[in-house]
Structure 1
Amino acid sequence: MSYSKRLILLMGIDSVIVIFAIYVSNYVASSSFSPFSYTLAVSAATLFTCHHLFAYRYKLYKKVWRYASVMELLSIFKAVTFSAAITMLVQGLLAGQIYWKIMLITWMMHMILIGGLRFSWRMYRDKFVHRIGNRKRTLIVGAGSAGTLVARQLMQNPDVELYPLAFIDDDETKHRFEIAGLPVLGGRDKIRETVDKLSITNIVIAIPSLKKRELNEIVQECSRTGAKVQIIPMFEDLVEGKVSVNEMRDVQVEDLLGRDPVELDTESIRKYITGSTVLVTGAGGSIGSEICRQLAVFSPRKLILLGHGENSIYTIEMELRSIVGDSIELITEIADIQDRAKMFRIMRMHKPRVVFHAAAHKHVPLMERNPEESIKNNIIGTKNTAEASHEAGVETFVMISTDKAVNPTSVMGASKRIAEMIIQELDGRSRTRFVAVRFGNVLGSRGSVIPLFKEQIRKGGPVTVTHPDMVRYFMTIPEASRLVLQAGALARGGEIFVLDMGKPVKIVDLATNLIKLSGYDLDEIGIQFSGMRPGEKLFEELLNENEVHEEQVHPKIYIGKATLSDEMAEITEILQHYEKWDRLVIQDRLLQLANRKQTKKLIVV
């Protein structure tokens, strides 16, 4: 129904109610003046006029009554009460007396009929129009403000496929009570029992304040039921209308890391990024592109996006231009970090203050089969970029490394450790501050295990895990990128920064959770153990035994021991002769060199 038709209908119904109420009240009260008296007619006209004026003032005709609540009832109360009060004032002035009994009955009838009509419409829609029908039977975990809002929106919105039947909440004071017309059946220990009893197919977790560890525990309990588990958007976004309940997202694996994301010191980052020229190598990759997104928040004067793949660089350029417009000068450079002359030319041309070196080969099995490429990209490419930065007078150079560089068993890990050695050595003779950042597996990055698992699940399984005991440290792409930016702020020169990523996660548990979160049983998809690949370890380390130091210099920041031996002669020999060597020889030489007990200052963030 259009707004104008709805307005005319409501005004017409209200007009009938107003006139009906005052005349019936007169009859019920056995008034001394007749139904046709002048005083009654003026009272009716006054009440009629005032009602519509106050209805306009309190927007009674603009409210959507299927969502009526206490606030709408308060608006009706004000409109009816003020209308009656003014009518009584007119009676006193006109007749010299106020007909209290008539006006009291009129007020009561007015409230009952005006309010009752509107709330009856809501009750009718809730019970008959929006009954569950073919909608999915849903359990809401969390009976607080967010859960109540979600329940009401789900019940009142027929376009949403979910329909709530009950709440679960750990607050015992809410148990056995009803909220928004739904029973609170108990704490999280009742989830499986409730799902079975009510034939629940979907579970919505509506507790925005949950810590990651608690969320993990609740999701684990929900996953045992076989119901699909989802999480509401941010509560503030729901209240402000930025998103609706039908935009609930599935639980992501990063929600189950068992710890809250690490938040770092953005103010110190702002001081060295804002107004500066910043260059990012590998800017089109998973980490590189996220570094660029986060750099844009700090308003550098110029941001140089350097990468070898034109499509990925074009994609991040277009994304950033849509966000920052002309507020930041964006420059794209299609270049290979193995091209030494071009890297020097680019550095001289732009003279960046800060360089984030994210370009690298990172796939362990591929680098095992192609060790020479690992040398060319990860070692020579880093050396070219670092020395070009030194020559151009860059203030801070941050290199992306990996936990696989600790006691490496793979060519990729060894190449990254040797790259760390190169920038540590260069830091000792350069005015540029050279630092490296070590972190574990990045959830959702290209080639990481999560996209592979998701694709295997999409195809019906099985999900392949190399070994049942394999564990890895995990972090999110934003966490990894923030750490890289933080490293530049903390850099004094020569450090290797490591994020404290909590406890390592078993890969088989990760696969199991992902299968369940995708709405499947473990028996439907299955997990197949394929055996460890060349170069892999059962567990990764963040620091080796020579790098551990207990001295705390800042909350969550530790500094390691500082000893450094000189292996540059051997590195130079490898770079000069690797093209003549057999691949097995290259692997052996890289691993021997990378596993030397060579340490420098380390800071754990």
Structure 2
Amino acid sequence: MQWPRRAARVTLDLALVALAWWLAFWLRFNLEVPGEFIGLASEGLGICVVAYAAAFVVARVWRHVWSYTGLPELRQLVVGIVVGGAITGALLLALRLPNFPRSVLLLQPVLALVLLGAARAGWRTVVESRSAHGGGRRVLIVGSLQDAADALRALKGSHEWLPVGIVSPIPSDVGRSIQDVRVLGGVDAMAQACAEVQAQTALVASPPGSDDRRQALLGATDAGIPLLTLPRPDEWLKAQGAGPRRVELEDLLGREPVQLDEAGLSDLMSGQTVLVTGAGGSIGSELCRQIARFGAARLVCLDISEYAIYELEQELRASHPQMRGLYYTCNVREPQRLAAIAQRHRPAVVFHAAAYKHVPLMEQLNEIEALRTNVIGTLNAARVAGECGARRFVMISTDKAVNPTNVMGASKRLAEMLVQAVAGRYPQTRFVSVRFGNVLGSSGSVVPLFASQIARGGPVTVTHPEIVRYFMTIPEAAQLVLQAGLMGQSGEIFVLDMGEPVRIVELARMLIRLSGHSEQEIPISYIGLRPGEKLYEELLANDETTVPTPHPKLRVAKSGGALPDIEAVAKWIEGAGAAPAGELLRGWLREQVPEYSPPGTVDQAA
């Protein structure tokens, strides 16, 4: 089917070249070619057609699809015509035909360009007109003219989508048009624009995280139409669909892509054995995916959850069959089990993601569990990494370790200090901690909670109208952990650039809108701060300063103060028993972590 169409296009091109040849003679002699020159024209016609055919083959003009002709294709056509005209002129001048009108050699390429360009433009116009009347979904584009132009190029030739208008955040754009699609108004007039052009959906072309995207979400809800955006580059590469997709929360919050030292990370991971604790969790599993992408020969995955490690095994075996994965159920609180695994596989890099992280749960009834897992588990993992000769040990920490007001945050701060203390005992291993805030969509985070509340019809519960948190996506967090592990010197604590803090109530509103509801349908209720929570999270303690690194999203926190006695910490937690008194435990934590300041005594009898 393709060959007859290509043959027809080749035939038409050569026929138009021949027509341009005759038109050139016709114009040269004022619309009437003398008889003696008709023979010259006929004699040169064959040379002209053959020369252009050869030039078009060299310039790859006949590989173009006319339905998608644009400036790049027209530039190639110009090259082909110039080369064809030059070959024609050179051959005819070499033959020295008597009285041959040389002006024809200049006129003919110009006429050929006009005719061949018009043929392509006409065909594309017919195809686009047919598509416009083919019943595609009417889509309104949200964004500036530049953003809209990019979106229109992405939708070009699609029979599924029909752009019918643009709303732009730039007032001067209103009334202008691009590719015959008019700017109907500003983003705030989106509902009216949708009604005017009978749009069935809106496509957001504005960059991720922009105010235009948030305004578009409000406008789309008011207009009662779904909100779409174009796939991210990583989605194009993964072939997760070639067309627009629904807007997600990550698109609205928006983050710049992480710049990774791909060569350095490949050198660190490629062909090596890497061990990840807490591998079945949100961050741990994403770390495993990224590590596999960088070519690790063996990936040793540890998690206390049998189901989580099973799910990870199934995923990695399917996506990275060339990598040898080893999947262990293991509790980091058991040093002998941890040491046996590490000594058997001798990892070059250890990522420690195993931790208890839920603030209210660790604040009441489970305080000793936070110390046993977050403190002793980290101590065990760090010691094992040093004893087996790992090159790097990277601990995942949290912004709640800064001026902590809860047991979970204080336990993570103490864990950071223990990692620094262990670093002095194993100089061959670089020990690094990486501190970041909340991760969108991670297990136990606020987003899945809000989603389930919306699915039940509400209400969505927010602790306080002014509470704010830092957020980043799971892939971004994992990639920055890898980068910090590559760059870090032993004993350093890295702070990630978390961007601007987000009000939790605004997050709730965006999720309600994304689900296609309004706040009248899904109300928001305030339930008060939970035990150990504070309104504002910090990334740096008061007595800390930071120094920049070569990576724009990573800084190193410098803190003073004495490091804890490793043996004394381990002995106290071991001797505390199964259910120590809350005030006793908090008092001891305050001695170890001076910046820890619990808001008040928690009633353990509750």
Structure 1 residue identity aligned to 2:470:
Y
Structure 1 575/121 Cα, relative in aligned 2: closer, same or farther at 3 Å? same
Superimposed CA distance per residue, residues 379-429 of structure 1 (whole angstroms, 9 cap, x where no aligned partner): 443344344445445565433233334455545445434544654555566
Rounded Cα–Cα distance in structure 2 between residues aligned with 1:460 and 1:351: 51
Match of 1:224 among 210, 218, 228: 218
Question: Could you say what secondary structure the match of 2:351 adopts?
Answer: strand
Match of 2:286 among 290, 295, 298: 290
Scaled by the length of structure 2, the TM-score of the pair is 0.78
Structure 2 residue identity aligned to 1:345:
A
Match of 2:513 among 516, 533, 547: 516
Scaled by the length of structure 1, the TM-score of the pair is 0.78
Structure 1 residue identity aligned to 2:449:
L
Match of 1:362 among 357, 363, 369: 357
Rounded Cα–Cα distance in structure 2 between residues aligned with 1:406 and 1:11: 71
Structure 1 28/507 Cα, relative in aligned 2: closer, same or farther at 3 Å? same
Q: Which residue of 2 aligns with 1:466?
A: 463
**Contact 1:396-1:434 at 8 Å conserved across structures:** yes
Give the CA deviation at 1:197.
5.3
Rounded Cα–Cα distance in structure 2 between residues aligned with 1:540 and 1:147: 38
Q: Which residue of 2 aligns with 1:402?
A: 398
Give the CA deviation at 1:593.
2.6
Structure 2 residue identity aligned to 1:360:
A
Q: Which residue of 1 aligns with 2:602?
A: none
Structure 1 14/366 Cα, relative in aligned 2: closer, same or farther at 3 Å? same
Q: Which residue of 1 aligns with 2:2?
A: 3
Give the CA deviation at 1:598.
2.7
Rounded Cα–Cα distance in structure 2 between residues aligned with 1:251 and 1:298: 29
What residue ranges of structure 1 are gaps of 5+ in the alignment? 601-605
Structure 1 524/78 Cα, relative in aligned 2: closer, same or farther at 3 Å? same
Structure 1 346/599 Cα, relative in aligned 2: closer, same or farther at 3 Å? farther
Structure 1 11/365 Cα, relative in aligned 2: closer, same or farther at 3 Å? same
Structure 1 377/139 Cα, relative in aligned 2: closer, same or farther at 3 Å? same
Question: Could you say what secondary structure the match of 1:305 adopts?
Answer: strand
Give the CA deviation at 1:118.
3.0
Q: Which residue of 2 aligns with 1:334?
A: 329
Q: Which residue of 1 aligns with 2:536?
A: 539
Structure 2 residue identity aligned to 1:416:
K
* Residue 305 (structure 2) pairs with residue 306 (structure 1): no
Rounded Cα–Cα distance in structure 2 between residues aligned with 1:507 and 1:155: 39
Question: Could you say what secondary structure the match of 1:593 adopts?
Answer: helix
* Residue 151 (structure 2) pairs with residue 154 (structure 1): no
Structure 1 392/278 Cα, relative in aligned 2: closer, same or farther at 3 Å? same
Q: Which residue of 2 aligns with 1:143?
A: 145
Superimposed CA distance per residue, residues 310-359 of structure 1 (whole angstroms, 9 cap, x where no aligned partner): 45335545655666665x65433332223332122223323334432211
Rounded Cα–Cα distance in structure 2 between residues aligned with 1:552 and 1:132: 59
1:188-337 correspondence to structure 2 within 5 Å: 198=197, 200=199, 202-206=201-205, 215-226=209-220, 228-233=226-231, 246-257=242-253, 260=256, 277-296=273-292, 302-317=298-313, 320=316, 326=322, 330-337=325-332
Q: Which residue of 2 aligns with 1:30?
A: 32
Q: Which residue of 2 aligns with 1:563?
A: 562
* Residue 159 (structure 2) pairs with residue 165 (structure 1): no
The total of aligned residue pairs comes to 581
Structure 1 residue identity aligned to 2:577:
Y
Rounded Cα–Cα distance in structure 2 between residues aligned with 1:305 and 1:462: 39
Structure 2 residue identity aligned to 1:69:
G
Superimposed CA distance per residue, residues 119-174 of structure 1 (whole angstroms, 9 cap, x where no aligned partner): 22221222343247451232241333x64243134242113x352523637495x7
**Contact 1:60-1:76 at 8 Å conserved across structures:** yes
* Residue 338 (structure 2) pairs with residue 343 (structure 1): yes
Superimposed CA distance per residue, residues 217-272 of structure 1 (whole angstroms, 9 cap, x where no aligned partner): 2223323322654444468998xx99799434444434455764665777876776
1:114-125 correspondence to structure 2 within 5 Å: 114-125=116-127
Q: Which residue of 1 aligns with 2:585?
A: 590
Q: Identity of counterpart residues, as a percentage?
A: 37
Give the CA deviation at 1:509.
1.0
Structure 1 33/230 Cα, relative in aligned 2: closer, same or farther at 3 Å? same
* CA RMSD in angstroms, aligned pairs only: 4.5
Q: Which residue of 1 aligns with 2:601?
A: none
Give the CA deviation at 1:478.
3.4
**Contact 1:414-1:591 at 8 Å conserved across structures:** no
Structure 2 residue identity aligned to 1:157:
S
Rounded Cα–Cα distance in structure 2 between residues aligned with 1:12 and 1:394: 68
